[in-house]
Amino acid sequence: MDESQLGRRTDVELKVFFDRLFPHSFAGADVLTELAPESWEPSPLLACFHLTPEQMFRECQRMYRCLEEQLASRRKREPDNPAFAPQPEPTLEKVLADWKSVPVNVAAEVTELVGRCLWDVFSDGHDVLVSDGRLADLGSFRAAGGFISSYLDGQVDEWWNGDYLRFYMGTPWILCSDIHDRADLTTVYATIFRRLKTLGADWVYHFPEIGCWWISARAKWQPGSRRSIRHRKRSRESKRCASGRPNWKTPARS
């Protein structure tokens, strides 16, 4: 059956499903035992929220270089604009001067990490199929973030009106940095998938896609004039596969 034809669980059923998935909260003792058997402080996952000065320095360097690359082209177009003037590169001494130790908050940090990994699993274009074959669909990227936030806040009547930015875009945007550069999150995902399997659920991965539309310069702006590049490409590939001809023009990807 086509996935688009599958039904989805209701909001109440989704809440019950999450209750069964994490019966003692996202940061319950059972979750901590799986993620950090020797306690949270010595766990490598602590680096997701608590960086050493050296780690912070490396992140500042990477962010600085990314910003410089983005501003380079604008600087060429507007060389006299002070907003695009080159800034000094961060130094370890400057980072050490600004660095402060932040107290560890185990419950808040584990909840944040598990919640964002749940967004990665349930959203981002992927599908979670429950035991009866229906989708555990949390909605759009924003709606998924809002649902997880509302679930944690106990807003029973407003599942989709939570602070979606709290978990929006999952792990890549935590603390304005890619958390995957700070720690290996395999244990977190393994915990989620292990619990999904226990409940008889399945997960369908979908490779990220960007939809593009082609509009002819000679056509007027109307629905009938739009053509999808992706659909045209798939149509050509389908005809090629049906005829048995190899697609010599498609370069091999490493």
- Kindly report, residue by residue over 179-221, the tens digit of the pLDDT: 777 889 999 999 999 999 999 999 999 887 766 666 655 555 4
What's the domain count of the chain?
A: 3
Considering the domain architecture, whether residues 57 and 46 belong to the same structural domain is answered as no
Highest mean pLDDT among 95-109, 175-189, 236-250: 95-109
Mean pLDDT of 54-78: 87
* 107, 87: one domain: no
pLDDT attached to residue 249:
36
Measured over the CA atoms of residue 45, residue 47, residue 50 and residue 52, the dihedral's sign is: positive
- Give the pLDDT confidence of 114-142 residue by residue, as tens digits: 999 999 999 988 999 999 989 999 988 88
Residue 71 burial (CB < 10 Å; 0-12/13-18/19+)? middle
Please report the pLDDT score of residue 193 as a whole number. Answer: 97
- The domain in which residue 83 lies consists of 53-98
39 against 228, higher pLDDT: 39
Residues 37 and 106 in one domain: yes
